[in-house]
Structure 1
Amino acid sequence: MVGAEESGRLVTVGRRFEVVRNRPLLTLAVGHMTVDMYAGLLPMMYPLLAGKFALDLKTVGMVALAYGAGSSLSQPLFGWLADRHGTRYIGLALSWTAITFALLGFVPNFAVLVALAALSGIGSGAYHPMGALNASAVISEARRNSAMSIYTTGGTLGIATGPLIGVLTLGAFGLHGTIFMLIPGLLIAVVLLFEMRAIALRPRRTGGSPRLVPPPVPIGPISVVVGVMMLRAWSVFGLQAFIPIWYASMGYEPSFYGLLATTLVLANVIGAIGAGHLADRFGRRILIVGSTILSVPALLLFAQFPGSIAFVTAAAIGLLAASTTPLLLVTAQQLMVGRAGMASGLVLGLGFVMGAIGVPILGAVGDAHGIQNAMRLLALIAAASASVAAFLPSEELVRQFANRNSNALPAASLPTASS
Structure 2
Amino acid sequence: MLSQSSTVYRILFAISLVHLLNDSLQAVIPAVLPILQTNLNLSYFNLGVILLVMNMTASVFQPVIGYFSDRKPRPVLLPLGMLSSGLGMLGIAFAPNYAVLLVAVAFVGLGSAVFHPEASKVAYLASGARRGLGQSIFQVGGNSGQALAPIMTTLIFIPLGQGGAAWFSLTALLALGVLLFIAYWYGKREKINKAMKSAAALYNHKNQRITALILLVLFVSVRSWIQASYQSFYPLYLIHDFGYSMSAAELYMFVYMLAGAVGTFFGGPIADRFGKRNLLIVSTLGALPFTLLIPYVTGFWAYPLLMINGLIMMSSFSVAVVYAQELMPGRVGMVSGLITGLSFGMGGIGASALGKMADSLGLSFVIIFCSIMPVIGLIGFFLPKDATLEEWEQEAA
Q: TM-score, normalised by structure 2?
A: 0.90
CA contact (8 A) 2:85 2:111 kept: yes
Partner Cα separation in structure 2 for residue 325 and residue 111 of structure 1: 33
Q: Which residue of 1 aligns with 2:52?
A: 65
Partner of 2:387: 396
What's the counterpart of residue 138 of structure 1? 126
Q: Confirm or deny: 8 A CA contact 1:334 1:401 kept in the other structure.
A: no
- Alpha-carbon separation, structure 2, partners of 1:404 and 1:146: 26
Deviations 1:77-118 (A, max 9, x none): 111132122141212212211221232121121122122212
The CA distance in 2 between the partners of 1:166 and 1:94, in whole Å, is 22
| Whole-angstrom distance in 2 between the partners of 1:403 and 1:163 | 47
The 1:195/1:205 distance shift into structure 2, 3 A limit, reads closer
Judged with a 3 Å threshold, the aligned counterparts in structure 2 of structure 1 residues 282 and 365 are, in CA distance, closer, same or farther, namely same
What aligned pairs does 1:165-244 form with structure 2 within 5 A after superposition? 165-200=152-187, 204=192, 215-216=202-203, 217=206, 218-244=209-235
- Superposed, which structure 2 residues align to 1:370-381 within 5 Å? 370-381=362-373
Which deviations, in whole Å up to 9, do the C-alpha atoms of 1:339-389 show, x marking residues without a partner? 110010111222211210111211122222221110111123211x11212
Q: Which residue of 2 aligns with 1:316?
A: 308
Alignment length, in residue pairs?
A: 381
Opposite residue 114 of structure 2, the aligned amino acid is: A
Structure 2 CA distance for aligned equivalents of residues 38 and 243 of structure 1: 20
> Residues 263 and 311 of structure 2 are in contact (CA less than 8 Å); yes or no, is this contact kept in structure 1?
yes
C-alpha deviations, 1:13-34, integer Å up to 9, x for none? xxxxx97x71111111011101
2-structure distance, mates of 1:374, 1:205: 45
Structure 1 residues not aligned, in runs of 5+: 1-17, 207-211, 408-419
Q: Distance in 2 between matches of 1:132 and 1:311?
A: 32
**Identical columns (%):** 28
Give, in whole Å, the separation in 2 of the partners of 1:402 and 1:123.
35
Runs of 4+ in 1 over 4 A off after TM superposition: 200-206
**CA 1:313/1:84 → structure 2, altered by over 3 Å: closer, same or farther?**
same
2:83 is the alignment partner of 1:95: yes
Of 147-156 and 37-46, more deviation after overlay is shown by 37-46
Cα distance change of structure 1 residues 255 and 205 upon mapping to structure 2, 3 Å threshold:
closer
Query: Contact 2:116/2:340 (CA < 8 Å) preserved in 1?
Result: yes
**Map 1:121-132 → 2, pairs under 5 A:** 121-132=109-120
Counterpart in the other structure of 1:290: 282
Hey, what's the Cα distance between the residues in 1 that align with 2:31 and 2:249? 9
Letter of the 1:176 partner, please give it: G
- Give, in angstroms, the shift of residue 294 of structure 1: 1.7
Secondary structure in 2 aligned to 1:390? helix
- 1:160 aligned partner: 147
CA apart distance, 1:398: 1.7
Is residue 75–residue 118 contact of structure 2 (8 Å, CA) maintained in 1?
Answer: no
CA contact (8 A) 1:44 1:167 kept: no
Unaligned runs of 5+ in 2: 1-5
Aligned partners of 2:86 and 2:173 also within 8 Å: yes
Give the aligned partner of residue 14 of structure 2. Answer: 27
Q: Which residue of 1 aligns with 2:37?
A: 50
Distance 1:102 1:167, change over 3 A: farther
Check conservation: 1:234, 1:355, Cα contact below 8 A: yes
Kept in 1, the 8 Å contact 2:44–2:355? The answer is yes
The question of 1:120 aligning with 2:111 is answered no
Among 360, 364, 367, the residue aligned to 2:356: 364
Superposed, which structure 2 residues align to 1:270-309 within 5 Å?
270-309=262-301
Task: Kindly report the root-mean-square deviation, in angstroms, between the aligned alpha carbons of the 2 structures.
Answer: 2.1
Q: Quick one: which amino acid aligns to residue 269 of structure 1?
A: A
What does the per-residue CA deviation read over 1:307-357, in whole Å, with 9 as the maximum and x for residues that have no partner?
Answer: 332212211121012222211111111122111100101112222112101
Partner SS state of residue 286, structure 1: helix
Query: In the alignment, residue 113 of structure 1 is paired with which amino acid?
Result: L
**Change in CA separation of 1:204 and 1:389 when aligned onto 2, cut-off 3 Å:** closer
One-letter code aligned to 2:332: A
Cα distance in 1, alignment partners of residues 257 and 210 from structure 2: 32
Please list the CA deviations of residues 172-225 of structure 1 after superposition, one character each: whole Å capped at 9, or x if unmatched.
Answer: 21101111001111112112112321135676579xxxxx88844521121122
Closer, same or farther in 2 for the Cα pair 1:315/1:27, shift >3 Å?
same
Task: Find the aligned partners of 2:116 and 2:395 in 1 and give their Cα distance.
Answer: 27
- What residue identity is the alignment partner of 2:259? A
Instruction: Answer with 244-253 or 266-275: which moved more.
Output: 244-253
Distance verdict in 2 for CA 1:30–1:87, change over 3 Å: farther
- Letter in structure 2 aligned against 1:290: V
Letter in 1 for 2:285: I
CA pair 345-252 structure 1, distance change in 2 beyond 3 A: same
The answer to whether the Cα contact below 8 Å between 1:214 and 1:339 also exists between their aligned partners in 2 is no
* Structure 2 contact 18–175 (Cα < 8 Å) conserved: yes
Cα displacement (A) at 1:404: 5.0
**Residue pair 2:127, 2:133 contacting (<8 A) in 1 also:** no
State the TM-score, normalizing by the size of structure 1: 0.86
Partners of 2:200 and 2:303 lie apart in 1 by 50
- 2:291–2:309 contact (8 Å) kept in structure 1: yes
Q: Does 1:79 align with 2:66?
A: yes
3-state SS of 1:264 partner: helix
Equivalence for 1:261: 253
CA distance in 2, matches of 1:72, 1:404: 33
